[in-house]
Every structure is written in C-alpha cells, then in structure tokens.
Structure 1
C-alpha cells in the first residue's frame, strides 16, 4: 500500500494547515527581515556619528575663533572646523528646501569636530575649557546618545528574535496537532499496519514525507510573500523623496536572501520532526 493511498493529497484538512503554516512563515520571515534591517540601520547610524562632536558657540566671531583654537588643540580631538553658510544650508535643506537659507536669517556658529577612537568624556572637558575662557558654548557629544541607540537596538533585536522563536514554536505546535488529528482519522489503517508488523519508522515515514512537503511548500510561499512585502515597503520609502532623509538607507542584502532561503527549509524540517515525534508517541500507546 503506497503512502498516497493512506494520505491522499487532496485531503481538505491539509488546506487549513497549509494556510496557517504559510501565514506563520510569512510573519516569521518578515519579523526576521525587520530585525536584520533595524539592526543594520542602527549600526549605520551609530557608525556615522561615532566620534562626531558638534559645538554651538554663542557670541561674536572672535568667540567662535577662540573656541575653534581650543577644540583643535585638545588632545582627544582628531580634527575640527567651523561650519560655513554652505554647510548650514546643507544641514537645514530638509526643512527649508533646496533654495538655501533666506537672507537675514541668523545662523548659529557651529564647530564640527571628530574625536580620536576610544576617547570618551570630551564634551564635559571641552565645556569646562570654554567656561574658563568665558565662552558660552554647548557641546553635543554624539557618543552619549549613540550608546543609547545601541542599547535600544539590542533590545529591539532581542524582542524580534523572541517573536521569531515564538512563531516557529507556534508553527511546530500547530503541525503536531494536525498530525495527531490526521493520525486519529486513519487510526484503523494505522492499527492494521501496526498489527501486520509494519515498523513504527515505516508508518512515521509516511507522515514525515507528507508534512515535509507541506512545510516546504508553505514555507516557500511565506518567504516569497515576505520578500514581496519587504520590497514594497522599500519601494514606498524610496518614493517619499521629501522624507527619505529621515529613513535609513535600507536594501535587500545577501543576509536577507539567506533568511528567506532558510525559511522553507526550517518549516519543512520542523514539520517533519513534529510529525515524526507525534506519530512515534501515538504508536507507542498502541503497544
């Protein structure tokens, strides 16, 4: 007796299971892609600003010149320069557009500095030096908030990985339940095979092949849908020219391809293992 006669392919019960596994694979792959994209974007953001220090100086141009001299001579500073009007226009272009800064608009006196690697606490030390020179200046050390971004990213990644694990466990539980129900529906056939001397591995293999194929097919469709959803979100983000500066420059990378490629494999193996464990345990009760 072939496995197809025991488990016909047109079983209506498999349709609902197929849909559930497909949806879970879609959500799991999309969650994994989102976690990877968020982590990559946060790394890009923090790498861009790590070591960057911005100083806003109040007062006359002489105060700016003196503050620049102090900053350039500081031991932990690799380079420093005063921002020009063109630099200010570039920074303000997201808000003011490409027409530039209107005439008469007062611009802050800014210094852009870059710290040496692994040097911390520069902001407090510079502010103390400025105070001694009677210079009113605000030092924004990006290292402080970039560390907060890293902590938030690690937390978001942990939550995303937990969501992926929860979705995978849910899929395995659903498959195990469906396998058990499928086994009960064919209990008489399984009993006959068992009494005729069919080994448990043979009977379990019938269910393994069925649910392996179901998991692979559902996982593939779920991965393709996740790819389509991610591509659509990237397309919509790139269409928003006015706000694209707010968003990280995300793209589908090789790592995303690996995630999508492993989705049907994980789904198929999970389905096969869940089917085997369920069938073996159920057959053990017949002994």
Structure 2
C-alpha cells in the first residue's frame, strides 16, 4: 500500500514570485560586485601607496650629465637616503611616452636631468632637506615627494570605501523592503488558508514559519544567481585588464583571491537570512493586525 504524497499548505510555485526572484538576484549581483570592486581597488591602491613611500624625484634644470652626477653625490650623502641614481635618456623617454609617443621629444629641446631617490620612510621632511642641500651646493632643483600623491590617494580611498559600504547597505535595505512587501502581498493572497489554519489551532509562529522557509529558499536561490553573475562580471573585468597589458597601467591590478570567494559564498547566505527575517517580521505583524 503506497502512502499518499503530503500536500504543502502553500503552493509550491507562484508565478508572482518570479519578479521578486529577479529583483533580489539583481540586488545581490550589484551588492557583491560593489564589494568586490571596492576591495580590489582598495587593495591595489594600498599596495601602490606602500611602494611609493620614501620615493622622490629630483629635477635638475640647466645641468648636464656630469652636473647631475655631482648632484647625485650630494643627495646620496644626505642622512636617510638609501639610493640615488640619475635616470638615463631612455628612461626619461619611457616616462614621456604616454604623452608624447614613442619618438619622445626632439633632441634640441632641453630636458632637466632627473634623479630617482629612495629614502627611509621613517625619516621626516626628506624632500625639503634634499632641496636645501642641493640649493646650498649651488644646484637649482625641484623635488617631488611621491608620498604627497600617496596621501591624496588614501583620502580618496577612504571616501570610496565609505561610498561602497553605503551602497551595499542601501541595496540590502532595498532587498529587505521588497521582500517584506512581497511577503505581505502573499499573505493577503492566501488569507483563506491563514484563516483555516487559525481555526485549526495553528499559532502565528507556525504560519510565519511557512513563509519563512519559502522566502529563505527564494533568497538563497536568487543570491546564488546574483553571486555567480558578479563572479562572471569580475572575471570579465580581470580578463579585459590583463588583455590590454601595459596600456592598462592606470587601472588597479584586479584579481580573485580567497577573500573574494568568501564574499561570493556568503552573499547567498546573507540574502537567505535577510529574506527569512523580513518574511517572519512581516507575517507576525500582519497576523496580529488581522486578529
């Protein structure tokens, strides 16, 4: 004798939830992509700022190669300087290539000699110190301390990180609000089933549990689709950046590491819990209003 299959109290499929699935999946996609982009950009910029700490470029106009070597000796003798070297003509042309092309500037146009300096990041005011010593030695100079640029980058990163967090919070709040609205609509559409369950002695927690499980599964599925789409978008960006090679020098070196995969795995779980929480609170509050 075969046992009859148990009939669920709520319909297994509801065409009205297709739109909700799309909205939740899109919000999860945007939230995961915003988190991945903010993390990758912040990590790349943080690595770049760490590399330029203690680096300086000294410009020496109106001197030849021999004069640049004498200035380099003055710089190398400065306390806190680890290395100082005069850039070659080829290195200067490589620096100018993004703006002036591979041919560089005409030889008739005088260019200042450049000295690349690496100093101890712990020593303060290296730029003014080097400029003062060169001036005392009779060299006209202009010192560019790369740490000044790093400070600007850090400030911009702080604003970008805060903006990304606000965006993720708004997307999560929007998802919860949409799920709450959909849950309330589903509850009203099944008012007859809820009334029968009340007459049978079912408690509000039991009825809320039916909707909780339904929207928990919906959140997990939609979150999984959104996370997979975010993974595909991130992989496409990484492939595009790597395909351009040196021409993408101003772009951050994006990559997918273990923490990125954790973010993608956690996204569906958070979406499921958010859907379940929104459904429970909405149903319990609505049932109390029906009594």
TM-score by length of 1: 0.92
Measure, in 2, the Cα distance between the counterparts of 1:130 and 1:117: 20
Q: Contact 2:62 / 2:112 at 8 angstroms: preserved in 1?
A: no
Shift of the alpha carbon at 1:133?
Answer: 2.2
Partner residue, 1:109: 113
* 1:175, distance to aligned residue in structure 2 (A): 0.4
Q: In the alignment, which residue of structure 2 is the partner of 1:162?
A: 166
- Hey, what's the Cα distance between the residues in 2 that align with 1:13 and 1:172? 17
Matched, 1:184 2:188: yes
- Describe the superposition over 1:110-146 as per-residue Cα deviations: whole angstroms up to 9, x where unpaired: 1111121322321122222222222111101011110
Q: CA deviation at 1:32?
A: 0.7
Matched, 1:247 2:251: yes
**Pairwise CA RMSD of aligned residues?**
2.1
CA distance in 1, matches of 2:195, 2:228: 40
Asked if the contact 2:21–2:218 (Cα under 8 Å) also holds between the matched residues in 1, the reply is: yes
- Where do residues 34-183 of structure 1 align in structure 2 (5 Å cutoff)? 34-60=37-63, 61-94=65-98, 104=107, 106-183=110-187
Structure 1: 5+ residue runs without aligned partners? Answer: none
Indicate conservation of the 8 Å contact 1:213/1:268, yes or no. Answer: yes
**Whole-Å separation in 2 of the counterparts to 1:174 and 1:30:** 20
Per the alignment, residue 283 of structure 2 pairs with 279
Give how far 1:18 is off: 0.4
C-alpha separation in 2, matches of 1:142 and 1:117: 11
Between 55-64 and 143-152, the greater mean CA deviation after superposition: 55-64
Number of matched residues?
285
Instruction: Give the whole-Å Cα distance in 2 for the aligned partners of 1:279 and 1:102.
Output: 73
Runs of 4+ more than 6 Å apart: none
From 206, 211, 221, the counterpart of 1:207? 211
